[in-house]
Every structure is written in structure tokens, then in C-alpha cells.
Amino acid sequence: MSFAPSIPPATDAVKKSDIDFHAEWCREEKGVLRQLAVQRRETKSKKLGVILIKLILQPFHHLKGSK
């Protein structure tokens, strides 16, 4: 005895358009998430760059005040 729900095929226009809409929404959502990941990566690399510059310039920081 099977308890799996029977899923009717998407034959009429309403069901087909719902499936198309959902597929399009998923593609857009994936694109937005990909964009956010790229932005997050760029922000991280900028922060790392600033930290590295500060660490490199830190030994020379005391020279700035002696002028």
C-alpha cells in the first residue's frame, strides 16, 4: 500500500504558468544570492586590505608625530 501523494501532471495553463513563475522566481533568487555573496567577498577583501595597510604602516606611526 503506497502513501505517496499522487501529483497530477501540469497540463492546464494555470498550473503550467504557476510552475513557470516558480522556476523564474528561483532563478532570480539564486542570482540575488550570488550577488550578495560577491558583495560580501568584496567587502571582506577591502577590510583585509585596510588591516594589512595599517599593520604595514604601524611601525612608522611614531615617526609621524615627531615632525
* pTM check: above 0.85: no
Q: From CA 65, how far away is CA 1, in angstroms rounded?
A: 84
pLDDT of 50-67, one tens digit each? 988 888 888 776 666 554
How many domains does the chain contain in total?
Answer: 1
Q: Is residue 16 part of a domain?
A: no
Note the pLDDT of residue 21: 83
Q: Is residue 10 part of a domain?
A: no
pLDDT of 26-56, one tens digit each? 888 888 889 999 999 999 989 998 988 888 8
Q: Is residue 39 part of a domain?
A: yes
Count of all residues that appear for the chain in the document? 67
CA 20 to chain CA centroid, Å, is 23
Q: Is residue 46 part of a domain?
A: yes
Q: Which domain holds residue 38?
A: 24-58
Between 28 and 10, where is the model more confident? 28
Q: Is residue 13 part of a domain?
A: no
